[in-house]
Every structure is written in structure tokens, then in C-alpha cells.
Amino acid sequence: MGKFNQRVALVTGASTGVGFTIAQKLYSLGAITVITGRNEVALQQAAKEIDPTGQRVYAIKMDVANAQDFKTTVEKIEQQYGVLHYLVNNAGITGPHGVNIEDYPLEAWHEVIETDITGTFHGMKYSIPAILRSGGGAIVNLSACNGVTGIAGIAPYTAAKHAVLGLTRSAALENAQKGIRINAVGPGYVETPNISVLPQETQQWMASTHPMGRMATRQEIANVVAFLLSEESSFITGAFIPIDGGYTAQ
């Protein structure tokens, strides 16, 4: 069926957007795909859309910022399938836009940090032991193009995506000889349902920030994630791969 036959993958924040398409891609390549999210209704709809038979997609409501939630999710996966081979730490939020640090609400800061940094930490903390028990595998963490650049008005999100790179590189070094490869990707602006409802001029501006003059498709992000999880990237670990149409080359 595909390169991920009989392999089990966990994708967080997969009820919509990029996470949904990553899960869809892994499923199409043969993986048993576990998807998580905070919205139960959207999550179940996503699972049915990816796999109408319900045989290779398993939906679990979970908040990545909650350590017990993540721990329980990994336990459920091992109980259900006996193994876990891949993790995609996709869940994340941007927080308010266009707000300077001195005006940024403290509660919004904490929500971004807990979801984007602590959620990624939780994912690796609880999934790495399970992946090791399964004989090894790979992890991809979603950073962003502003994981290596600054963007005014979204400092917490920018800080969080920088931190995801630090977590990725440290974890990659810790596991380099244990059979787990850990990498990060950095999308630019991506055509998602959330982006599609923005004013047309906003979407045009987003596209114009990329030297290629357009936004990424969700499939383009999913393709790179699948490559990094696969054995085709067997000598890549601790890497940051921009998927940004040249944004970070400027």
C-alpha cells in the first residue's frame, strides 16, 4: 500500500488545516494514523473524511498543553496498536496579531507558550519512550519561517517557534544513536481554511511576502513532513527545513 504500511503515526492538531492534510498524507501512504485536537466534533468529522471505514484512523480528543492528556493519549495508542513509530507535533496557535510586547495580554502570552512550546515538549517527552519501545522511528516538529526570523506584532508566537527549534535540536542529539530522527519544518503562509476567510487584500499581502509570489499549499507541507518521517531521509536529524517559497532567504 505504501511506505508507512503497518506503521503508527500520531499527528496533533489534525482536525483541520495543515495537520489534517499531514494526517491525510500519512494515511494515503499506508500508516495507521492517530489524530488529536481539542474540538471533538471537528476531530470526528476529520477522521471520517480521511478514512470513511474507520479502520486506520483513530481520533482522540486532547489538549497538547495538558501533560496528562498527552501521556494518556500515548498510553491509549500503545494499548490499541502496541506500537508508536511517528509523531508530528503540529498543534499550535498564533495568538493576537499586530500587538506590541508592552500591550500583549499576559493570558494570551501564556496560552501561546503553553500550546506551542510546552505542547511540543509534552509530545516528545511522552512519545519518545513509546517510539523507542517500538524499535525506533521519527518525529517532525512544526516550527515556522519566523522560527529563524523576527516578525513584529506576534512576539510570543515568534519566540515559541524559535524555541521549537531548540527543542528539536537538543532532542535530535539525545536520540541520534537510539533510532529516532527528529527534525523541524518551517512553513511560510499556507493556504488553509482559516486563511481563506481573511480579506482578499490580506491574502494577497501574505502571498507577496514570499519571493515565489504565492502561499504554500497544505499538500506541499505534508509532502515534506512525510519525507522527513520516511526512510528516504534516513541521514537527516536535527535539521530545520524551511517550506517558505524563499521567505527566509531574503
Q: Which residues are catalytic?
A: 157
The β-bridge partners of 61 are 37
Q: How many domains does the chain have?
A: 1
The helix-helix angle for 155-175 and 106-113 (nearest 10°) equals: 20
**In terms of residue numbers, what domain contains 17?**
8-242
Of 77, 69, 66, the closest CA to residue 130 belongs to: 77
Whether 234 is in a domain gets the answer yes
Residue found under cell 477522521: 47
- C-alpha 26/C-alpha 4 separation (Å) is 7
- C-alpha 83/C-alpha 97 separation (Å) is 40
The helix-helix angle for 17-28 and 40-50 (nearest 10°) equals: 30
Tell me the H-state helices in the chain.
17-28, 40-50, 67-81, 106-113, 119-133, 155-175, 193-196, 200-208, 218-229
Whether 250 is in a domain gets the answer no
Q: Which residues contact 6 (CB under 8 A, 6 or more apart)?
A: 30, 32
Question: What pLDDT sits at residue 1?
Answer: 40
| Residue ranges of the chain with per-residue pLDDT less than 50 | 1
Answer yes or no: pTM beyond 0.75: yes
Longest dimension (CA), the chain: 53
Question: What pLDDT sits at residue 196?
Answer: 86
Task: Look up the CATH number of the domain holding residue 175.
Answer: 3.40.50.720
**Number of CB atoms found within 10 A of residue 200's CB:** 7
Whether 3 is in a domain gets the answer no
- C-alpha 64/C-alpha 68 separation (Å) is 9
Helix (H) / strand (E) element for 186: namely strand 180-187
Q: Which residues contact 188 (CB under 8 A, 6 or more apart)?
A: 144, 145, 209, 210, 215, 216, 242, 243, 244, 245, 247
- C-alpha 207/C-alpha 197 separation (Å) is 15
The β-bridge partners of 149 are none
Type of residue at 36: T
Question: What pLDDT sits at residue 194?
Answer: 85
- C-alpha 225/C-alpha 22 separation (Å) is 7
**3-state class of 212 per DSSP?**
coil
